[in-house]
Amino acid sequence: MNGTLNPFEKNNYLSQTRKIRKLAVEAMNLYSIHPVEIKFIGHTDNTTYRVTSSNNKKYLLRIHRQSDFDSNGALQEELEWLQFLSKKKFFNVPKPVVSKNNRVIETAVTVEVGSRHVCLFEWIDGHFIDTSVTEKKMFKLGELLANLQTHISPKKIKHRISLDAEGLVGSNPKFGSIDSLTGITTRQQKIITQGRQFVLAKLLKFQKKFPNRLGLIHGDLHFGNILSLKNGELSAIDFDDCGFGFHAYDLVMPIISLQSALGERRKQHMQRYLTAFFNGYKSIKSWDNDDDEVLVHLRIARGMLMLGWINSQPNNPRLSKILMPRVVSMLKSLKRNYQIT
The angle at the Cα of 45, spanning 4 to 116, to the nearest 5 degrees, equals: 75
> Nearest CA to 304 among 215, 214, 195, 164?
195
Question: What is the rounded CA–CA span in Å between residue 109 and residue 166?
Answer: 35
Max CA separation in the chain (angstroms): 60
pLDDT of residue 156: 78
3-class SS of residue 116: strand
Set out the domains of the chain in order of their start, with CATH numbers. 7-123 (3.30.200.20), 128-338 (3.90.1200.10)
- Residue 302 sits at φ, ψ, to 5 deg, of -60, -45
pLDDT of residue 2: 43
The number of angstroms, rounded, from the C-alpha of 5 to the middle of its chain's C-alpha atoms is 24
DSSP 17: H
pLDDT of residue 1: 42
Using an 8 Å Cβ cutoff, are 294 and 159 in contact? no
pTM of the complete model: 0.90
Using an 8 Å Cβ cutoff, are 141 and 84 in contact? no
Residue 254 amino acid letter: P
Block mean pLDDT (10 aa), the chain, length 341: 60 89 97 97 92 97 80 91 90 96 96 94 94 93 96 82 95 92 95 98 98 95 95 94 96 96 88 98 98 98 96 77 93 96 87
